Amino acid sequence: MSSKTQTTEGAMVEYVTAMIGGQLFGLPISRVQDVFMPERVTRVPLASHEIAGVLNLRGRIVTVIDMRARLGLPKAEHGKVPMAVGVDLRGESYGLLIDQIGEVLRLPEDGKEDNPVNLDPRMAKLAGGVHRLDGQLMVVLDVDRVLELKTEVQMAA
């Protein structure tokens, strides 16, 4: 499945949308492996608070990253079942815990803008730009940046 398609108006990019703390985020569909409901997440002793734990997903050990913690947001309300988006980086599997999964949006590549100067710095460090949609801003998550921070946290420990 290609994340970019050519049309008469230019290149289009597909994003899997997700809500985290009331903010709309988009992940390039080319980076998304799975969307699943995490079950039986096992905490990892001495792991950063951003690491929710690990789980077994169809025989693969997946590191689960709490995107609310990564973004400096408060924990989700109890009773709300989180979703997870599966991504890979250099052969390692990760699950990004999100509040809610949305739809797949096809947006023009040239509609993506740089991060606005007033974008919350916690989001800006993980964002690869934004798309202005009807009445809201979709922050494009840079999956590499989201996962790189994990190693910075480990090295600081």
Closest by CA to 133, choosing from 110, 107, 154, is 107
pLDDT in tens, the chain (157 residues): 444 554 445 799 999 999 999 999 999 999 999 999 998 899 999 888 899 999 999 899 999 999 999 999 888 777 677 899 999 998 899 999 999 999 999 999 999 999 999 999 989 999 999 999 988 999 999 999 999 854 444 444 4
The pLDDT of residue 146: 92
Tokens found for residue 109: 């590549």
pLDDT for 42:
93
CA distance 29 to 104: 8
Contact (CB, 8 A) for 20 and 26: no
